Amino acid sequence: MDIQKITLRFAVITALIFSASFCRMIPHMPNFSPLAAIGLFGAAHFVKKWQAFLIPIAATWLSDLFINNIIYGQYYPKFTWFYAGFYWQYGSYLLITLAGIFIFKKVNAKRVIAGVITSTAIFFLVSNFGSWIDNSTYPQNFGGLITCYIAGIPFLKGTLLGDVCYSAILFGSFALAQLRFPVLRIAYLD
């Protein structure tokens, strides 16, 4: 019976993550995304921590496949498995998940807020660093790096709002589900 509880819990967490990742299809402001939130959510709730890395990255990649080949397919000459510079974004999501593992020894509102602030900062720092490295628009010196970070500031609002919104939805809905369905709670697991 315990294995059924674990399987149900895993299925619900995974379904929430995949559902959130496909919310990227909803029109939104730049950088308003569920991707950092799904990394935090996975880090907080998967019992096996390798799942916290694998499931959100898989959901991100599948939603990228859909976005790049269906929604924006006209901009790519052939089927696109990975877009240019994807490794900077995916790397930031993996770092966000790692940070989440350390933040979420226990899940509560204060830790969710800490996770949101941390994830926003990680994404901003990593993605803009990648943009500086991969983009010849910016001089490859410290001044160019600072210019790139300054150019990224207008997108910070969307990142923060997306992290807040999707974290509230994911953590809040799962907390409510745990209240309604005690089988989803982790107390009985090792």
**Does 118 fall in a domain?**
yes
CA distance 43 to 46: 6
Cβ(92)–Cβ(152) below 8 Å: no
Of 69, 4, 86, 16, which is closest to residue 44 (Cα–Cα)?
16
Q: What is the pLDDT of residue 185?
A: 86
Cβ(9)–Cβ(186) below 8 Å: yes
**Does 39 fall in a domain?**
yes
**Does 7 fall in a domain?**
yes
CA distance 50 to 57: 11
Q: What is the pLDDT of residue 46?
A: 95
Q: What is the DSSP letter of 69?
A: I
**Does 15 fall in a domain?**
yes
What's the domain count of the chain?
A: 1
The CATH number covering residue 111 comes to: 1.10.1760
Please report which residue ranges of the chain form alpha helices under DSSP H.
2-21, 35-45, 49-66, 86-103, 109-134, 142-180
CA end-to-end span of the chain, whole Å? 15
Range of the domain at 79: 2-184
> Per the structure block, which two tokens stand in for 135?
């983009």
Q: What is the pLDDT of residue 188?
A: 44
Q: What is the pLDDT of residue 4?
A: 67
Q: What is the pLDDT of residue 52?
A: 97
**Does 130 fall in a domain?**
yes
**Does 189 fall in a domain?**
no
**Does 190 fall in a domain?**
no
Distant-in-sequence, close-in-space partners of 13: CB < 8 Å, separation ≥ 6: 41, 42, 45, 46, 55, 174
Q: What is the pLDDT of residue 187?
A: 53
**Does 77 fall in a domain?**
yes
Give the residue ranges of the chain where pLDDT is below 70.
1-5, 187-190
